[in-house]
Amino acid sequence: MAEITLPQLGETVTEGTITRWFKKIGDTVAADEPLFEVSTDKVDTEVPSPIAGVLTEIRVPEGDTVAVGTVIAVVGDASSAPAAPAASAAPSAPASEPETRTSATVSEPEPVPAAAPQASAAPAPQAAPAPAATAPAAPALQVSATPVASVGSSVVLSPVVRKLIAENGLDVSRIQGTGPGGRITRDDAMAAIGRQGAAPAAAPATTTGTAPAPAPRGVAPRVVAGSRDEVVALSKIRQATGIHTLMSKGAIPAAFSVVEVDFANVDSTRLRLKEEFKTAEGFSLTYLPFIARAVVDAIKEFPHMNSSVGESELIIHKYVDLGIAIDLDYQGLLAPVIRDADEKRLRAIAREVNDLAVRARSRQLSPMEISGGTFTITNNGSSGSVLTMPIINQPQVAILSTDAVKKKPVVIEIPGGGESIAIHPVGNLAMAWDHRAFDGAYAANFLVKVKSILETRDWSSEV
């Protein structure tokens, strides 16, 4: 018999929400067979069973959020008698106890029981230091002093939910909790963030009775679905993308630079070897690995491109963990990371790009594989885009868009001197960058270096 715990799903991941059990109590499970699905602030992923046997106990039901390391199930041998599933409030399920989760308790005027020992010496029960000692983030949550029936007298918040509420200035007393016992889940917080700013339109002016006053600047007007509309709920990844990109747009003084690249030199190698490459590797050789290789080489000369902005400082990374944005069949976007891309040649990069794309679309990536990038490439050209201004993936300082390669007339130099017109494959490389990290000359010369590598290198040895 073995206890199944919630595994560490990333360096910064402290908890996860069990969104689905693939097996019922009494079912046989094979080693490495998907056992449950977990949602974190990084990614939703399927977790395989570490052993074979019979699922005898489920301690954490679907919808509950628990800390990493919490025992969530028990798998025994075939002779093991299944245990009854634990209710979320059962004493035998430590995952349902607030103190076993990496969570904070935010109280109304009276202190929470956990803070009582520290608060016992205080002259008045309403003293503020006791709750603050238990949950440092609590003051930022703007908890109303008036109890709200939908929330209850105390609100248990997981670290992810607490962070979302604090960063977006939400009033926890106004959020309807849909989790066990009325607990506020990440979905509840995301929904509140989506509603924030969608203020009702002002009432019509009484003097005219004609049109409502315009919504305040920066506040989106409220939209109500009509009989001819279809309402599609935003998925978790769509909501998370919206929050992350909005934060990036608001926090970064982004600028934009573009160069045009003649890919004839790349094609002289790519087209000559494409059939041999596909036979050997099982996938096609595209322009993306060439561009990725040129980027990591250019970073050696322009290291500030591969950095993060800290507190009055620029943190320059001495390695290149290259993120590659991948579309999930129009359902969202992930940017899995090629670790130490600066130490890999073109063929190795091509293999990793293909592997990450396949596993991203089949939901087989771990949170570790989509975090920690130092520079990102987004391949909009595969969809036909000719010029894209991407949004920087914080805390990085730049993101490069590889747009479509199209045949165009270009001016070329001919042997012996002179110029001529030829038809070559040409495409744009467009980069959004953080003006705090460097200026336009630095960004432009980095792009020119990438262009030069693509147009002049002998790529035969790379493939």
pLDDT at 158 over 70: no
pLDDT attached to residue 177: 82
Higher-scoring residue by pLDDT: 412, 213: 412
- Model confidence pLDDT, tens digit, residues 377-432: 999 888 889 999 999 988 899 999 999 999 999 999 888 888 999 999 999 999 99
The span from the first CA to the last CA of the chain, in angstroms, equals 50
pLDDT attached to residue 232: 85
Q: Does residue 56 contact residue 83 with C-beta atoms inside 8 Å?
A: yes
Other Cβ atoms less than 10 A from the Cβ of 6: the count is: 25
Active site residue 77: no
pLDDT attached to residue 65: 87
- Model confidence pLDDT, tens digit, residues 31-56: 888 899 888 765 677 888 888 999 99
pLDDT attached to residue 196: 67
Residue 215, both tokens: 């919504």
Active site residue: 44, 229, 435, 458, which one? 435
- Model confidence pLDDT, tens digit, residues 338-364: 999 999 999 999 999 999 999 988 878
DSSP for 24-47, written as a single string: -TT-EE-TTSEEEEEE-SS-EEEE
**How many angstroms separate the CA atoms of 256 and 15, rounded?**
37
Residue in this structure with the two tokens 């070559």, named with its chain if needed: 424
pLDDT attached to residue 148: 34
Q: Does residue 342 contact residue 319 with C-beta atoms inside 8 Å?
A: yes
Higher-scoring residue by pLDDT: 386, 90: 386
Active site residue: 187, 424, 439, 458, which one? 439
Least confident piece of the model among 139-153, 285-299, 325-339, 421-435: 139-153
Q: Does residue 45 contact residue 365 with C-beta atoms inside 8 Å?
A: yes
DSSP for 352-392, written as a single string: HHHHHHHHHHTT---GGGGS--SEEEE-GGGGT-S---PPP
Q: Which residue, 351, 350, 402, is CA-closest to 379?
A: 402
Other Cβ atoms less than 10 A from the Cβ of 175: the count is: 23
Instruction: Return the beta strands (E) in 146-296 as ranges.
Output: 154-157, 254-262
pLDDT at 81 over 70: no
Residue 5, both tokens: 């715990």
Q: CA-CA-CA-CA torsion for 288, 294, 300, 306, nearest 10 degrees?
A: -30
pLDDT attached to residue 10: 60
Q: How confident is the model at residue 133 (pLDDT cuts 50, 70, 90)?
A: very low
Show the domains of the chain with their CATH numbers.
2-96 (2.40.50.100), 254-461 (3.30.559.10)
Q: Are strands 398-402 and 375-378 parallel, antiparallel or unpaired?
A: parallel
pLDDT attached to residue 53: 92
Residue 214, both tokens: 């315009």
Q: How confident is the model at residue 83 (pLDDT cuts 50, 70, 90)?
A: low
Active site residue 244: no
What is the percent of the chain with per-residue pLDDT over 90, rounded to a whole number?
43
| Runs of H (alpha helix) within 98-205 | 116-119, 129-134, 159-167, 186-195
pLDDT at 82 over 60: no
Question: Residue 412 — φ and ψ, nearest 5°?
Answer: -125, 155
SS3 268: helix
**How many angstroms separate the CA atoms of 307 and 45, rounded?**
29
Q: Does residue 44 contact residue 37 with C-beta atoms inside 8 Å?
A: yes
The average pLDDT across 62-87 equals 76
Residue 452, both tokens: 């030069």
What is the percent of the chain with per-residue pLDDT over 70, rounded to a whole number?
74
pLDDT attached to residue 121: 42
Question: Residue 353 — φ and ψ, nearest 5°?
Answer: -60, -45
Q: Does residue 381 contact residue 402 with C-beta atoms inside 8 Å?
A: yes
Q: Which residues are registered as beta bridge partners of 53?
A: 29
Q: How confident is the model at residue 262 (pLDDT cuts 50, 70, 90)?
A: very high
pLDDT at 59 over 70: yes
Q: Does residue 427 contact residue 405 with C-beta atoms inside 8 Å?
A: yes
Q: Give the mean pLDDT of the chain.
A: 79
